[in-house]
Amino acid sequence: MIREKKKEKLVYPPSEKEIRRRLEETERSENPSFIEIWRKRYVYRGIPYEIACVKHVGKKWNKAGMHCVLDPTEEWEDVWQTFLLKGGMRWLWVDTLYGEERRPVEKDWTVEQMVDYLHETAKRNIDFLWELVEKLKAKGVWGSSPHSEENRKT
């Protein structure tokens, strides 16, 4: 488990009154859905990521009535897009409510268990990136332009 709580930064700290107002507003809407309860920023090996807790409004998907999401930060969005769009990899992105990562909601995990799971996922994703950088350095291609004359040779 990652326990870097010292580096935790609350990105979105709504008041209890604001949360209640949003819940009431969402419950009155024709399409009840979710509202973000909190979002925290973490840093692992120099790379930031965020975890958000989302409250279910309307249909309750699990006992907690919430699920959590791992997101890349705004400044790392371009790296995330490269992994996702060009590599087909969901790097630093997991939504515990949907798809193959649905396991935490299906198993009725607590919010704390989901957050721990997302920290472990973030750690694996970031370690993968650093491992890739080290392998590129070892091959002598790190720091050179992919468009240089030498790298165009096959």
Per DSSP, the chain holds a count of helices (H) and strands (E) of 6, 5
Q: Tens-digit pLDDT profile for the chain (154 aa)?
A: 444 444 455 555 566 676 666 666 656 655 557 777 899 999 999 999 999 998 877 777 778 888 899 998 989 888 888 876 776 677 888 888 875 666 666 677 888 989 999 999 999 999 998 998 899 889 888 776 655 565 555 4
- pLDDT for 101 equals 60
CA distances from 77 to 51, 74, 81, 83, 124 (A): 15, 5, 6, 10, 18
| Cα 96 to Cα 51: distance, rounded to the nearest angstrom | 11
pTM of the entire predicted model? 0.71
Domain ranges of the chain: 5-139
The two structure tokens encoding residue 2? 């990652």
Side by side, the strands of the sheet bearing 66-72 are 9-12, 34-44, 47-56, 66-72, 94-95
